[in-house]
Chains A and B, each alone.
Chain A
């Protein structure tokens, strides 16, 4: 088979990072090719270059044998390249139809010709068996349907080279199966598929060939059949990887966090939590599994004083915490690893020592009357940097200049410093590489050993299953199932994540 895509000696530099270092790849027509690598390995960058979204500093690209330069995604689309991005590229306030036609609109006179586009789209979605409501607003449809919209977007534009950037991250195991089927049928219809992932299991399940990237460099190109998960892992990380964190045996103590029948609205004013209840004991890790957007964000905000509830009870160590402020939650013994460290966790334009000070500014020994003792803050920060192995040239460096892993370590350092009774960890390993993930998991286990109560919210099902003593499944703002560690399979949880057996 001929190489439909050839990228040669691609170099892409971001300020301070060499994202792609002289990478050459070939993609064969009609294959499913996996691009494997850790977060930050450069795989999304490489594909964004192929899609014309990023300009590259060096190298050449050949599509169907023809040397090509893209000035933007429009050119790539014209060449038959399409991409489903990790974060969906959909305008939430537009209808599905408007999203689908955007950039390829049909017009009648001066105005948009929505009807003829609609007919055409209905024909395509029927052909590929994609069930889509064209008139719904994107913000109202499920994540699974949003992904189908993204795929339809590609088909509508006549793409025959389709790039999927970590498409499974937000799906339930059943939806992942569905996606695999769609991808297989696309291949049968002659499409070429490039699949970006950091999950080894997926590589084995779906791909014909694998290309492994690490630290912006090409490590290996290999047929999937002739390799093993263990070997792939070693190539991806660059060393042997332990697949399971040691889980310490800890006696659970008294109940610390108690949540009963809470209801709350999301930021659009719609019900997000509907009579949810849960509790967490000392020395216990309770994991919340669920598909993104089922109330996890709101639950964490409610439990850290960042969102008001309309009814229900929240107590921490017996103390009533209903609609208390975020400061009062901290005082009551909560620590919070936010789901988005860049949004809630850190002030990127502040130096590290000022970031570590957040929440301690009114406390001894830093507060001195109206003033702050910044010398004390700095030396304390230096100590934390050492203890948490945060790699930085100094505590005066702005947090925004550090890598994701080191940023997360800084958040962890600060939050553990609060000596909390309960730790609310929301997606604590999102976007981190394997080394940093191990670090975070170890620290969470340390906290368990210190008899902290821990609520772990994560979209990574394997993380929930490995760390949690109890697993609660959240669906549409309610806890729909509860399992103990080791008593459940991924499939069973996945079924509950999608709303239970009846679905």
Chain B
């Protein structure tokens, strides 16, 4: 009983939010990109590059500039993916895989160039500090869970309805979705298919960059090689689980966040399961969640993954 209380303490829920944040941002990025018809398994690499740039920016100019740099780098990666897959019509999975490979290697090259005698891991940099929400933090329980968090956590939570609004209630969103479902139809109505996809994939990169920046200058205070540890892919799985909708994806992300927070608290509570096995819990859960979709018709945008050729 005591163990159970420990396992489901308020800190678990609070850290659920923190852990879910980068995954939420990745899954929002996934929604943007794939709704426009571009598969983006490069979210992982975009996050990683974002995380690295954020640390560099934070080291030289302070945390908030670092955040901006991280977001912009993610956007730049998105732009690269858009160029490859929209303009050059490369296989979208190959293009994204290249981004993922590059994102592992490039920081390792640059770290020793920027910080002498550092390899694979950056020095500690200034972070974006947690804030107190004035009124909410004084509410019992709820205040303990959401009252005292990192600003990026709040930004991520706000972005969920915002991206949802963008996709489903605005002119731009209607056009992005049209391009992802039936690009030729959109083209016949004078909509620039390429431009829509560029916009969507770049926004996707910006979001991933934000997620990466959160990891390196908020959740942690340094960059380490491959620190995203598959979160971009988990975000993608959450997006599929949420059927390409931001709100659905949010729920899936919270579930994964909880799984991760739970394993961490179980570990510290001394549950006799080896930590390595506990650490694999979120990955196993992701697999199980995807299998759980079986039988339900979760159709992806009809033109997802298909390059569009103009006549």
Contact = CB atoms under 8 A, between A and B. Distances in A.
Contact between A and B in the complex (any CB pair below 8 Å): yes
Interface of A: 48, 51, 53-55, 72-77, 83, 85, 89-94, 98-99, 101-105, 107, 110-112, 153, 268-269
Contacts of B191: 74, 102-103
B302 interface: yes
Centre residue among A51, A110, A153, A268 by max chain B CB count within 10 A: A110
Interface stretch (B8-16, B181-189, B213-221): B181-189
Contacts of B311: 48, 53-55
Nearest to B192: A72
B170 A89 contact: no
Contacts of B171: 105, 107, 112
Contacts of B178: 91, 94, 102
A89 B297 contact: no
A442 B136 CA distance: 80
Interface residues of B, number: 23
Given A102-B174, A111-B165, A92 B182 contact: yes
B190 interface: yes
B189 A103 contact: yes
Nearest to B188: A89
B231 interface: no
Given A103-B175, A111-B170, A93 B187 contact: no
A85 B188 CA distance: 9
Given A91-B182, A92-B302, A104 B187 contact: no
Nearest to A111: B169
20 contacts: A48-B311, A53-B311, A55-B310, A73-B189, A73-B190, A83-B188, A91-B181, A91-B182, A93-B181, A94-B177, A94-B178, A94-B181, A99-B185, A102-B174, A102-B175, A102-B191, A103-B189, A103-B190, A105-B175, A112-B171
A472 B12 CA distance: 66
A98 B189 CA distance: 12
Contacts of B184: 89
B298 to A, nearest CB: 12
Contacts of A51: 188
Given A107-B171, A111-B169, A269 B189 contact: no
Contacts of A153: 189
A94 B165 CA distance: 16
A77 B174 contact: no
Nearest to A105: B171
Contact of A98 (B165, B174, B188): B174
B176 to A, nearest CB: 11
Interface in B185-225: 185-192
Given A92-B302, A102-B175, A107-B171, A73 B182 contact: no
A-B pairs, 9 with minimum CB distance:
A74-B190, A103-B189, A54-B311, A89-B185, A105-B171, A91-B182, A111-B169, A89-B188, A91-B181
A58 B32 CA distance: 39
Nearest to B191: A103
Contacts of A72: 187, 190, 192
B169 A102 contact: no
Contacts of A89: 182, 184-185, 188-189
B57 to A, nearest CB: 30
A102 B191 CA distance: 8
Contacts of B189: 73-74, 77, 89, 102-104, 153
Contacts of B186: 91, 102-103
Contacts of B175: 102-103, 105
Contacts of A48: 311
Given A55-B311, A112-B169, A269-B297, A92 B188 contact: no
Contacts of B177: 91, 94
Given A93-B302, A94-B181, A110-B169, 18 more contacts: A53-B188, A54-B311, A55-B311, A73-B187, A74-B189, A74-B191, A77-B190, A89-B185, A89-B189, A91-B177, A102-B174, A102-B175, A103-B175, A103-B186, A103-B190, A111-B170, A112-B174, A268-B297
A53 B184 CA distance: 9
Contacts of A107: 170-171
Contacts of B190: 72-77, 103
Interface in B277-304: 297, 302
A107 B169 CA distance: 10
A206 B124 CA distance: 79
Nearest to B190: A74
Given A105-B171, A111-B169, A90 B182 contact: yes
Nearest to A48: B311
Contacts of A85: 188
Interface string B150-186: 0000000000000001000111001101100110111
A91 B311 CA distance: 20
B113 to A, nearest CB: 44
Centre residue among A53, A103, A105 by max chain B CB count within 10 A: A103
Contacts of A77: 189-190
Contacts of A53: 187-188, 311
Nearest to B311: A54
A105 to B, nearest CB: 4
A72 B190 CA distance: 6
Given A91-B182, A94-B181, A73 B188 contact: yes
Centre residue among B170, B174, B189, B311 by max chain A CB count within 10 A: B189
B245 to A, nearest CB: 13
A94 B167 CA distance: 13
B170 A110 contact: yes
A153 B169 CA distance: 21
Given A74-B190, A85-B188, A105 B181 contact: no
A432 B158 CA distance: 55
B82 to A, nearest CB: 19
B180 to A, nearest CB: 9
Centre residue among B177, B188, B302, B310 by max chain A CB count within 10 A: B188
B250 to A, nearest CB: 21
A420 to B, nearest CB: 34
Contacts of B165: 110-111
A102 B189 CA distance: 7
B89 to A, nearest CB: 15
A99 B192 CA distance: 16
B34 to A, nearest CB: 14
A463 to B, nearest CB: 28
B185 A91 contact: yes
A407 to B, nearest CB: 20
